[in-house]
């Protein structure tokens, strides 16, 4: 086992977190029971915030960045895991208060670990990553509330992004009529139709001041944007429809009213991927393994080297990246 290896570490520089690619060793890893050889991570909007310093994502410094990882167990002091096991981790405070996945080696708490489904490769799990896993949590949130394909169209906002693009593919594959909203229809419309979207909704149709109630359009919504887009989507949701909200790329505000909830029985279902229970996580990953269209997954993901992530952070924050980025931590 080589003494040093590469990692992206956020450190305090003049009171601000600054992330750099550097060499570290096992001594720099936390004292946790499971040592993993990391193969892949991902690049998400949250990672872009952490790497750029645009938001205080890393709350404990120094800290290895990266909210996802997938790899192979090297050593384990916990009997639940053995050398050679393929595992993945999403959330649980990685890149916030715990060392994350932008490293070639990591030590983990066994309580964070999900076993990779047998039918999936390590790279496929990170093609999905937190974004794909969150998408499935949203889809299951709609299903658990009884929304079926027969109930009508499902709106997906921020559809060209990581969560949105996987949600479009999953919902279409399950037989739902998917209407995909994006601010990049000219650039990404063909891509979204290829994932199964039957209609495209310009972002400006939603990102506006809305009435308390508008024309009923959606049996369900997967919202990754928040703020005015979410408020308009709620106002347009059908009687007893369900809105699964998981993001705030457009802002953290929500200027709405109680009218959709008390006059139409609309359900607003918050979706958290960071601290979800292991049972909910395993259910989502097993469902992804069983239902995700592998051709779609390949078309909406690309692999990038960890050495280029610092340059890519501003692009993901500016909405210039569509689909999913797999991070090869060994490149």
Residue 331 tokens read as 């490149």
Q: Fold for domain 4-116+300-328?
A: Quinone Oxidoreductase; Chain A, domain 1 (3.90.180)
Q: Which helix (H) or strand (E) holds 325?
A: strand 324-328
Contact assessment for residue 54 and residue 48, using Cβ atoms and an 8 Å cutoff: yes
Read off φ and ψ for residue 316, nearest 5 degrees. -70, -35
Whether the domain at 4-116+300-328 and the domain at 130-270 fall into the same CATH topology: no
Q: Residue 322: pLDDT band by 50, 70, 90 thresholds?
A: confident
pLDDT at 140 over 60: yes
Look at residue 234 in the predicted model and tell me its pLDDT: 98
pLDDT tens, position by position, 62-112: 999 999 999 999 999 999 999 999 999 999 999 999 999 999 999 999 999
pTM of the model: 0.88
Look at residue 2 in the predicted model and tell me its pLDDT: 57
Q: Residue 299: pLDDT band by 50, 70, 90 thresholds?
A: confident
Contact assessment for residue 145 and residue 242, using Cβ atoms and an 8 Å cutoff: yes
Residue where the block lists tokens 């891509």: 191
Q: For the chain, give every domain's residue range.
A: 4-116+300-328, 130-270
Query: In terms of Cα–Cα distance, which of 130, 172, 171 is closest to 275?
Result: 130
The mean pLDDT of the chain is 95
pLDDT tens, position by position, 284-297: 999 999 999 999 99
**Assigned architecture for domain 130-270:** 3-Layer(aba) Sandwich (3.40)
Average confidence (pLDDT) over 245-250? 92
pLDDT tens, position by position, 187-245: 999 999 999 999 999 999 999 999 999 999 999 999 999 999 999 999 999 999 999 99
272 vs 215: CA distance, rounded Å:
29
Give the residues across from 101 on adjacent strands: none
Give the residues across from 182 on adjacent strands: 202
Average confidence (pLDDT) over 107-136? 95
pLDDT at 1 over 60: no
**One-letter-per-residue 3-state SS of 140-192:** HHHHHCCCCHHHCCEEECCCCCHHHHHHHHHHHHCCCCEEEEECCHHHHHHHH
For the chain, helix (H) and strand (E) counts, in that order, are: 9, 16
Look at residue 271 in the predicted model and tell me its pLDDT: 97
179 vs 196: CA distance, rounded Å:
9
Residues 13-28 as b/e (b if ≥16 CB within 10 A, e otherwise) read eeeebebeeeebeeeb
Contact assessment for residue 103 and residue 66, using Cβ atoms and an 8 Å cutoff: yes
């Amino acid at each position: 086992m080589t003494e040093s290896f590469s990692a992206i570490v956020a450190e305090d520089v003049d009171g601000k977190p600054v992330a750099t690619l550097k060499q570290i060793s096992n001594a720099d890893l936390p004292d946790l029971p499971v040592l993993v050889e990391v193969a892949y991570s991902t690049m998400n909007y949250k990672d872009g915030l952490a790497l750029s310093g645009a938001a205080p994502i890393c709350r404990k410094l120094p800290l290895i960045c990266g909210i996802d990882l997938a790899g192979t167990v090297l050593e384990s002091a916990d009997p639940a895991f053995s050398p050679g096991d393929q595992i993945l981790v999403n959330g649980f405070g990685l890149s916030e208060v715990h060392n994350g996945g932008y490293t070639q080696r990591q030590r983990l708490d066994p309580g964070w670990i999900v076993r990779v489904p047998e039918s999936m490769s390590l790279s496929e799990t990170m093609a999905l990553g937190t974004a794909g896993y969150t998408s499935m949590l949203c889809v299951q949130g709609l299903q658990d509330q009884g929304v079926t394909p027969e109930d009508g169209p499902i709106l997906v906002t921020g559809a060209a992004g990581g969560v949105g693009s996987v949600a479009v593919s999953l919902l279409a594959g399950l037989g739902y009529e998917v209407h995909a909203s994006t601010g990049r229809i000219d650039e990404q419309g063909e891509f979204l139709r290829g994932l199964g979207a039957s209609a495209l909704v310009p972002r400006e149709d939603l990102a506006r001041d809305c009435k308390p109630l508008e024309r009923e359009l959606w049996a369900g919504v997967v919202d990754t944007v928040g703020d005015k887009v979410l408020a308009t989507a709620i106002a347009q949701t059908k009687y007893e429809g369900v809105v699964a909200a998981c993001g705030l790329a457009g802002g953290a505000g929500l200027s709405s009213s109680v009218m959709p909830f008390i006059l139409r029985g609309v359900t607003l279902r918050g979706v958290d991927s960071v601290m979800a229970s292991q049972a909910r996580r395993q259910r989502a990953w097993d469902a992804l393994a069983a239902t995700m269209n592998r051709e779609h997954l390949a078309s909406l993901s690309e692999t990038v080297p960890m050495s280029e992530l610092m340059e890519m952070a501003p692009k993901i924050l500016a909405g210039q990246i569509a689909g999913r980025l797999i991070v090869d931590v060994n490149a």
